[in-house]
């Protein structure tokens, strides 16, 4: 039975933000799954196909820190709905081009680059906006609900629908994605939040100096600095693993495409389970210790995957990796939101995201080199080493320096003026 407090929470601002995030992630899953398939129809050049995916990383490296600085300057709610409106129109125009037979690889590259460039502002603004919608002690529950809902929408519901939509027409996944962007924009625009409480910027302040201020604030916070370094190490490890996982499954384990599908399904299922565990673990241990526990379990899972030549070991390892990855993400983001100065949340979030994004392609290159030199199970063992280093880097800040208040389960009793 739902209590009045819980019902009030979901009718408030967080309920609309959650719905917008989940709807948008569903559309993202449709588009990101359909883009490589469309690229493969347009060209046989592997480099051109891979470039479509690469364009999803490049803007974060180029504009990620800038997006955080802009997010700290503007009204985050307005920035989010404006960005989603523009993205919806861009994807709708692309769907029309596909329907009319005008799709091309350069157009795919342009779309992927433009959407991710806009995402650098949207994601940082979203992270900075959440503390204005919920009480700070409820941020962990709010982040867990957001990330779990997005994982269900994207990992379990969105991607499997792509073949059905493509059967109805090559433009259908993109038309659906455009609709989700516009729906999300309308939901975010309907939020009524207090104007951001910011001190006036000093005369002559530039985006460059503001980015530098955010980086200094991150570096001077001992706990956040350690978590950022640990997150970078983990993302390098995951990049190495994911880039070579298909070879690990099909050639080292000889488990075929069914084995690869089982591994990815296990990871998605684990991620959803981790969403329900993240806040419970943090309440018992504190957020930094929750990260330590998650990293330790992930290190063990990677060692299991890299040493035991059995599909069951791989599936179990991927299940644990997915669960603990969600525990890590929820507590890392929450810790950052709780510790970052309110006026710098966007910039500090951008530093985290930029370092994480840069780790993935670096890890992919390392994984390929290690697989060629040391064997196809080498990337899993490399990832285990990197995760172990990440855990070690957190030990000096393991004392819970951010108190975790056991909140009422309504993560959404907040400060929205709904």
CATH number assigned to the domain comprising residue 331: 1.20.1250.20
Note the pLDDT tens digit of each residue in 120-143. Answer: 888 888 888 888 788 777 888 888
pLDDT for 11 equals 54
Low-confidence ranges of the chain (pLDDT < 70): 1-12, 46-47, 50, 53, 193-204, 400-418
pLDDT for 394 equals 95
In-domain check, residue 172: yes
149 and 30 part of one domain:
yes
324 and 374 part of one domain:
yes
83 and 185 part of one domain:
yes
In-domain check, residue 93: yes
In-domain check, residue 290: yes
Tally of structural domains, the chain: 2
- Is the model's pTM score more than 0.95? no
224 and 133 part of one domain:
no
pLDDT for 182 equals 94
96 and 21 part of one domain:
yes
In-domain check, residue 176: yes
Domain that holds residue 267: 211-397
In-domain check, residue 411: no
In-domain check, residue 197: no
31 and 117 part of one domain:
yes
In-domain check, residue 343: yes
218 and 186 part of one domain:
no
Do residues 23 and 181 make contact, with C-beta atoms less than 8 angstroms apart? no
175 and 36 part of one domain:
yes
36 and 172 part of one domain:
yes
pLDDT for 415 equals 39
Domain boundary among the residues 192, 227, 249 is at: 192
Least Cα distance to 301 among 398, 383, 246 occurs for 383
167 and 132 part of one domain:
yes
179 and 220 part of one domain:
no
Domain boundary among the residues 192, 224, 249 is at: 192
In-domain check, residue 418: no
pLDDT for 197 equals 60
Burial level of 195, CB count in 10 A (0-12/13-18/19+)?
exposed
Q: What percent of the chain has pLDDT over 90?
A: 35
327 and 274 part of one domain:
yes
């Amino acid at each position: 039975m739902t209590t009045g407090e819980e019902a009030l929470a979901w009718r408030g601002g967080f309920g609309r933000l959650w719905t917008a995030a989940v709807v948008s992630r569903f559309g993202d899953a449709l588009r990101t799954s359909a883009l490589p398939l469309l690229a493969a129809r347009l060209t046989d050049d592997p480099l051109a196909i891979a470039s479509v995916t690469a364009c999803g990383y490049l803007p974060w490296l180029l504009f990620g820190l800038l997006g955080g600085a802009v997010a700290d300057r503007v009204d985050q709610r307005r920035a989010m709905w404006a960005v989603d409106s523009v993205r919806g129109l861009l994807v709708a125009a692309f769907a029309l081009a596909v329907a009319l037979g005008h799709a091309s690889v350069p157009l795919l590259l342009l779309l992927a680059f433009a959407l991710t460039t806009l995402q650098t502002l949207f994601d940082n603004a979203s992270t900075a906006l959440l503390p204005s919608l919920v009480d700070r002690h409820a941020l962990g529950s709010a982040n867990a609900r957001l990330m779990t809902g997005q994982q269900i929408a994207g990992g379990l519901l969105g991607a499997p629908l792509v073949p059905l939509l493509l059967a109805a027409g090559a433009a259908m996944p993109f038309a659906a994605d455009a609709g989700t962007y516009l729906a999300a924009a309308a939901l975010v625009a309907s939020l009524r939040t207090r104007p951001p409480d910011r001190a006036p910027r000093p005369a002559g302040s530039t985006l460059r100096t503001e980015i530098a201020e955010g980086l200094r604030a991150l570096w001077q916070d001992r706990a956040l600095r350690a978590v950022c370094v640990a997150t970078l190490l983990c993302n390098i490890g995951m990049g190495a693993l994911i880039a070579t996982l298909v070879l690990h499954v099909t050639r080292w384990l000889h488990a075929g495409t069914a084995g690869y599908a089982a591994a990815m399904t296990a990871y998605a299922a684990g991620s959803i389970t981790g969403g329900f565990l993240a806040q419970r673990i943090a309440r018992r241990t504190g957020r930094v210790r929750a990260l330590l526990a998650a990293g330790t379990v992930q290190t063990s899972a990677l060692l299991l995957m890299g040493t035991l030549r059995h599909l069951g070991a791989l599936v179990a390892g991927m299940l644990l990796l997915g669960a603990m990855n969600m525990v890590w993400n929820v507590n890392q983001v929450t810790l950052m939101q709780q510790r970052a100065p309110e006026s710098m949340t966007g910039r500090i979030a951008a530093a985290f995201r930029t370092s994480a994004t840069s780790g993935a392609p670096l890890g992919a290159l390392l994984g390929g080199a290690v697989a060629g030199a040391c064997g196809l199970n080498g990337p899993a063992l490399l990832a285990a080493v990197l995760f172990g280093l990440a855990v070690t880097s957190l030990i000096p800040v393991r004392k819970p320096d951010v108190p975790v208040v056991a909140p009422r389960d309504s993560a959404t009793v907040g400060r929205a003026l709904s």
